[in-house]
Amino acid sequence: MIRQTALKSAIKLVVIAPLVLSAWAAAALEQPSSAVAPLDVREFLREFHRNPRKILNSRPAKRDENGVLLHAAMSLFSEDDIRTKKYLIYRDEVRAQMCVKAGVDCGMRDASPSAVEPLAAPGDKDTIERFVTTMRVLRKPAEMEAMGLLHHTLQSSPWSDSFWPVQKGLTGRRFADGGYPNSKDWSSNYSYISSRPAWTISPDSMSPAEKYDYLVGDRSWRMTNWAWGKGRRYISQYGFVPGWTGLCHGWAPAAIMTPVPQRMLTLRAYGGGTVTFSPSDVKALASQLWGEAPPIMKFAGSRCKSFNPREDEIGRVTNDSCYDVNPGTFHMAVVNQMGVAKRSFVIDATFDFEVWNYPLYAYQYHYFNPQTLAVSKAMAGSAVPRDRYTIDKFKKYRDPRARSFVGVAMDLTYAIPTQPSRKVVNRQSYHTVRYVYDLELDAGGSIIGGEWYSNFHPDFLWNPTPESRALSFVEKNLEAPLVWDGTDPISSEIHASALKASGRGEPLAVIVERLTQLAATPEDAPIEASHP
């Protein structure tokens, strides 16, 4: 059994097989209103009022890229981890590490019975101002609707790729080597690598970490050794490597902050020779940089000590600290960050073992009247005054300032991880999840809170700011930035800096950023040298 303290350096993600973007999915993204089926929403609401405990403790509906409802749970957590909720412990350890690395206080809030509070209003870790990157925050649903913000698809999609599991060797995984076992047994993979060290094979068959070492002239293979060292520590202490640990915390922000690689790159290595990077090689290094050397980020939500929080008679979680993110904050975050700022962010849903650190691509929502359960594209007729809301299941939790309520059924589309490829793969892969909640509005029509209609909801949001850069600890301490145009081998200064940073698993930003810039250039376009 893995103890909680054993996983402080671990990271995870749910892997789902790559799917092809279908005509249905494309149409849904181009015409968002078609994806929210009114009959489905009404039936969901009817069932909620018939059996609220069942609905509150049911996972939200998810669809694949073909629009097919996903009935079976797809997770790398074991059945025992899910049944005993140990996966929640693992997730919290990852969140704690993310917060420490990013230099942010994410707050572990007390979940003892004495901390129970009646309202679900946004808390101090759950305010919209601390999260979005817009100058002005839209708070009124009527204003959002008037501005045409009921749906939005980002012009630039977060890219899909592997989350580089520790089980496979992290970025030391030789996915381009046809003989590589690619086993769920770390030891089998490591034995193969040990019997065929990097200096005995063609650079074309090397892993992303080995190619990086080769490029920077590191014949001690520090980056490669760091990658395999992660798994070795699990083996030496516990005898196995769990399948969920990897670089998801790096993939999600990297997929947002770096352009999609579109071409193969053949570069001259320090000390002689050439090495070719595929798009997946570049994505791997970007994920590692953003995972191991992240900048300060914006967070909404907090960490709760209890993984079995107290519920009331209908199944609604009663501990306020385990209720984040409030649906009012969530709704404003989606509309302001994606609809107004045109930028993605990352969602993490604690009690849903399938949704963890996924970058968002599109959203769309309909309203529903919480009293009549009628679904509409317009808010007019969907908001119900407080004195006319007679079937409110959450009445005792409502903010006294609330004067009316409006329901929302939101379809949220996010990029999912895929398998690395030796080829240029320009398509991205997505899933769509539906969240149902209502919003509490004050006398002026501004959002002041709300209630989730499922305990499986996003509760931890994080957001790299537009100007942020992931930088290795070496580069943070340099007086002048390193410069490399990608057309010549790296300088001796970059070589020396790379050797220092690789020992901590941090690729140099000067190299990764230039690789992503070059790889994002279309195949038929010339590569131009960069200048400081």
pLDDT digits (tens, 9 = 90+) for 260-279: 999 999 999 999 999 999 99
Range with the poorest average pLDDT among 107-116, 155-164, 302-311 = 107-116
The pLDDT, as a whole number, for residue 391 is 98
pLDDT bucket at 507, cuts 50 / 70 / 90: very high
For residues 222-245, average pLDDT: 90
pLDDT bucket at 144, cuts 50 / 70 / 90: very high
For residues 223-237, average pLDDT: 93
Q: Are 302 and 123 in contact (CB under 8 A)?
A: yes
The pLDDT, as a whole number, for residue 422 is 86
pLDDT bucket at 101, cuts 50 / 70 / 90: low
**pLDDT, tens digit, 9 for 90 and up, residues 442-487:** 999 999 999 999 988 888 888 888 889 999 999 999 999 999 999 9
The pLDDT, as a whole number, for residue 298 is 85
Domain segments of the chain as ranges: 4-160+295-463
Q: Who's near 415: CB < 8 A, 6+ residues apart?
A: 157, 158, 159, 160, 255, 358, 359, 360, 361, 428, 429, 430
The pLDDT, as a whole number, for residue 271 is 95
pLDDT bucket at 98, cuts 50 / 70 / 90: low
Q: Which is higher by pLDDT, 157 or 243?
A: 157
Residue 24: name the closest of 68, 67, 85 by CA: 67
Q: Are 322 and 452 in contact (CB under 8 A)?
A: no
The pLDDT, as a whole number, for residue 524 is 65
Q: Are 369 and 30 in contact (CB under 8 A)?
A: no
Residue 300: name the closest of 125, 180, 518 by CA: 125
The pLDDT, as a whole number, for residue 62 is 87
Q: Are 333 and 132 in contact (CB under 8 A)?
A: yes
Q: Which helix (H) or strand (E) holds 408?
A: strand 404-415
For the chain, what is the mean pLDDT?
A: 84
Amino acid identity for residue 420 in this structure? P
The pLDDT, as a whole number, for residue 529 is 45
pLDDT bucket at 73, cuts 50 / 70 / 90: low
For residues 488-498, average pLDDT: 97
Whole-angstrom distance, CA of residue 343 vs CA of residue 256: 8
**pLDDT, tens digit, 9 for 90 and up, residues 384-438:** 999 999 999 999 999 999 999 999 999 999 998 899 988 887 678 899 999 999 9
Q: Which is higher by pLDDT, 424 or 154?
A: 154
Amino acid identity for residue 39 in this structure? L
Whole-angstrom distance, CA of residue 292 vs CA of residue 277: 21
Q: Which is higher by pLDDT, 498 or 417?
A: 498
Range with the poorest average pLDDT among 45-54, 298-307, 392-401, 460-469 = 298-307
The residue whose two tokens read 């679900």 is 120
pLDDT bucket at 348, cuts 50 / 70 / 90: confident
For residues 322-335, average pLDDT: 87
The pLDDT, as a whole number, for residue 115 is 27
Q: Are 352 and 341 in contact (CB under 8 A)?
A: no
The pLDDT, as a whole number, for residue 519 is 95
Paired strand residues for 354: none
